Amino acid sequence: MSRGFRRSALIGAGLATVLAAGTAVVACQSSGGSAAPKLSVADPYIPLPATPGGMGAGYLTVRNDGGADQLVKVTSPGAGSVTMHRSTEQTMEEVGALEVPAHGSLNLARNGNHLMIMDWSKQPALGDELELDLEFAKAGTVVVKVPVKPLTYRPGS
């Protein structure tokens, strides 16, 4: 009796999963056009530059509960230059914009997409916060305070 129940429960769970996946895919395809993006920024950090006051990197995750958007520019009142770059196994290149997919996220993380920060107005130290102004094509400017963390820091560590 109980085995029979467990079995049908399992099948039910499987069906529910398929339905959920179907819904997610549909949402993904249909909301890219006109829906407004709903953005939030998580886990921003700047590893302390290896050369004091030297070139730094910025990492963060942009979560999007709405339609697709693009990160088109990043500036900071505390640094003369912030540019968007992408690392691959062989190269590092500057990029003009980074896609924020609908109902997805844009990850700026080590060994991938990242911000390059130069010309600090004050040499960054552990515990400092740098303001970054993230300019999105649709959502406008999102201001984040980004903490300076140890050189080898990872979110959650």
Partner 1 sequence: MAPLRSTRPRLLSAAALVLGATLALSACSSSSSGGGESSGAAKVSKTSSSSQYRGTVLSKHFDKPDLVLNDTSGQPYDLKARTAGRTVLLFFGYTSCPDVCPTTMGDIGVAMAKLTPEQRQKIDIVFVSTDPERDTPQVLRTWLDSMGKDFVGLTGDLAKVKAAAKPLGIMVEDPVVAANGSVTSTHGAQVLAFLPGDDKAHLLYMAGTTTDTYRHDLELLAQGVAV
Binding residues (CB under 8 A) for partner 1: these are 3, 6-7, 10-11, 13-14, 17-18, 20-21, 24-25, 28, 47-52, 54-57, 83, 85-94, 98-101, 103-107, 109-114, 116-117, 151-152
C-alpha span between 51 and 29 (Å, rounded): 45
Tokens at 17, concatenated:
């999963």
| Least CB distance to partner 1 at residue 76 (A) | 14
C-alpha span between 148 and 145 (Å, rounded): 10
C-alpha span between 34 and 68 (Å, rounded): 9
| Least CB distance to partner 1 at residue 146 (A) | 14
| Least CB distance to partner 1 at residue 23 (A) | 10
Tokens at 83, concatenated:
């540019």
Residue 13 or 143: the one with the smaller Cβ distance to partner 1 is 13
Q: Which amino acid is at 104?
A: G
C-alpha span between 8 and 27 (Å, rounded): 28
Task: Using the CB atoms, write b or e for 101-110: b if 16+ within 10 Å.
Answer: bbbeebbbee
12 contacts 6 by C-beta, under 8 angstroms:
no
97 contacts 34 by C-beta, under 8 angstroms:
no
Residue 8 or 141: the one with the smaller Cβ distance to partner 1 is 8
| Least CB distance to partner 1 at residue 157 (A) | 9
| Least CB distance to partner 1 at residue 133 (A) | 19
